[in-house]
Amino acid sequence: GLAPPFNRNDTMPTKTEWVVAIVLPLHVTFLAWYMLSSSEPDNITPSYLKLWCFYFVLDATYGHLFHTLLLVPARWIARHLPGALVPSSDKENELVEQEESSNDTSLEWPSADAIAKLPSDWVVSMDTPDKEEKIAGDGDEGSNNAPKLIKKKRSKSKNDKPKSSQQCNNTLSDQKPPAATKNIAQQPYYLNHVRGSTRIRQASQRIGAAMGSILASFMIYHLSASKITLEDVGLTLPSSYILVVQDLAWGFSIGSSMVSIIFIMEVWLGWIKIVGFFQTVVPNESFAINFLWDVLFHVGVSINEEVMLRGWMFTLGCRGILAMALDWFEDSSNAATFSIIASIILQSSLFSFLHLHSPGSSYVSLLNLFLGGIAASINVMVAGGSLWLGIGWHFGWNIFMGHVLGRSTSGIPMSCACTDVIPRPKSSHKKCVENYHGGTFGPEQGVLAPLAYVIGIILVMCVCGFDEMIVWRDGLVSSHTDSP
């Protein structure tokens, strides 16, 4: 069958959304120019707090603008993907709810084949909101452990004739999608899943946020009369781009290695079971296409969070706090040490707080992520103030945890994984290990995360040494003490 024709009304945001997305950044940009462009005397320290506040406002408004622009092609592509199930734009609430969903309870996961590979004491009732029933009985041949899962809304007769991929896609597009839900408490196997057609739209939001972070940095640099440069917030572009690639590669290798260590230990300790490889949650979706959306999603996350938190919050925070601390300490070196420690605490606290409402989060995950924020700050310092090492670490950590090794990354949903795993559920037979493997939030809430962060910090220091860190710290001090 032919692909459904382009329908402008099914992809375009509303007029109100366009007005907000375009007009608001223009107003904020004008206000930033008016407030930041006035020249300051050379002997006056620039207002770092003002720069920081304007950056965050510009970051949010630019990110929303780019997301609105990217959402148009993302929705159009989503409707043409295999297995697509996307509400029409006249059902705005359903459409937005699906795009913000952390778990689609209409999807059958784990499958009967996957459950058949589990030990008997791992098999629990799949009591989900869409009234999925567990029927006790024999599963596949040779297994007595696999329950038959019957979905009332998705029952299928053996006599049904198979449809072509395109016919299936068109049929799904015409259906009313079940309401997605953010309540994942009834998922006994913890992991969150959505369709690939949902992941591409979630990826568009993260890529838009990353583009907003970069543009906001450039605009502050060009609009402000202060001496703040892009290098001051970690967006260093050395004469040789090989150095950037090298930092990204080292960061990716270390971040992915730490996650791999966690994964190997979880398998060895019996906290998770491997049940398959290179699978999609929706059978007729494309693994390669779904994996692409996950890559784009985490590229956006890595750039957005590193530029915002480690660039502006930590690096610029060190400069701002140092400007005040020089009045409190007689020794500028002690003032610099204080400013670095204070900035690490502030940045790590904000990084942890941003995950407060992530699915399955608890005080344990917040404490672990605070340690992760410390590790990320050290990445910046050992790289001489550059963000590229940290971006590589962040991306390697996320993509390996969530979509190479199939574990939950801060509760982020997945549509495919290179390694399909099932965490041990709550069971009456043995002690619950949710506190060990992290439950819905994932390994970042588990007991192995602190060890992985510490090992990662040691590896980064061994690879990069301390020379760049010393140069960066000396530059931090001289940026203030050398001023006339």
- Calculate the CA dihedral of residues 465, 467, 471, 476 and round it to 10 degrees: 30
CA nearest neighbour of 94 among 198, 199, 172, 216: 198
DSSP label at 341? Answer: H
Residues 57-101 have pLDDT tens digits of 999 999 999 999 999 999 999 999 988 889 887 788 888 899 999
Tell me the mean pLDDT in the region 271-283.
94
Which pLDDT does position 215 carry in this prediction?
A: 96
Task: Give mean pLDDT, residues 112-125.
Answer: 86
Spatial separation of the C-alpha atoms in residues 421 and 334, rounded to whole Å: 49
Answer with the residue of higher pLDDT: 146 or 424: 424
Q: CA-to-CA distance for 457 and 459, rounded, in angstroms?
A: 5
* Phi-psi group of 376: left, alpha or beta (phi > 0 → left; psi -120 to 50 → alpha; rest → beta): alpha
Selection from 350, 259, 338, 262 nearest residue 310 by Cα: 350
Name the pLDDT band for 159 (thresholds 50, 70, 90): very low
Cβ atoms of residues 219 and 60 within 8 Å: no
- Looking at residue 40, its pLDDT comes to 58
Q: Residue 276, CB half-sphere, CA atoms under 13 Å: how many? A: 18
Where b means 16+ CB within 10 Å and e means fewer, 374-396 reads bbbbbbbbbbbbbbbbbbbbbbb
Q: pLDDT digit string (tens) for 11-25?
A: 677 778 888 889 999
Helices (H), 270-387: 287-305, 316-325, 332-353, 363-382
> How far, CA to CA in Å, does 247 sit from each of 208, 211, 388, 463, 464?
24, 21, 6, 10, 9
Centre a 10 Å sphere on the Cβ of residue 72 and count the other Cβ atoms it contains. 14
CB 407 within 8 A of CB 263: yes
C-alpha distances (whole Å) from 410 to each of 55, 67, 115, 120, 352 are 26, 22, 24, 28, 11
Mean pLDDT along residues 263-279:
95
Burial of 157 (0-12, 13-18, 19+ CB in 10 A): exposed
Strands 148-150 and 416-423: unpaired
Mean predicted confidence (pLDDT) in 313-341: 92
If pLDDT is split at 50, 70 and 90, which confidence band does 180 have?
A: very low
pLDDT at 361 over 60: yes
Q: Which residue has the higher pLDDT, 268 or 36?
A: 268
Quick one: CA torsion of 427, 432, 436, 437, rounded to 10 degrees? 10
Q: Which two tokens stand for residue 117?
A: 């590979």
pLDDT at residue number 19: 86
Residue 28 has pLDDT above 90, yes or no: yes
pLDDT for 482: 57
The amino acid sitting at 283 is: P
pTM: 0.85
Q: Which of 206, 205, 203, 217 lies closest to 308, judged by CA?
A: 217
**Backbone phi and psi for residue 234, each to the nearest 5 degrees, phi listed first:** 90, -5
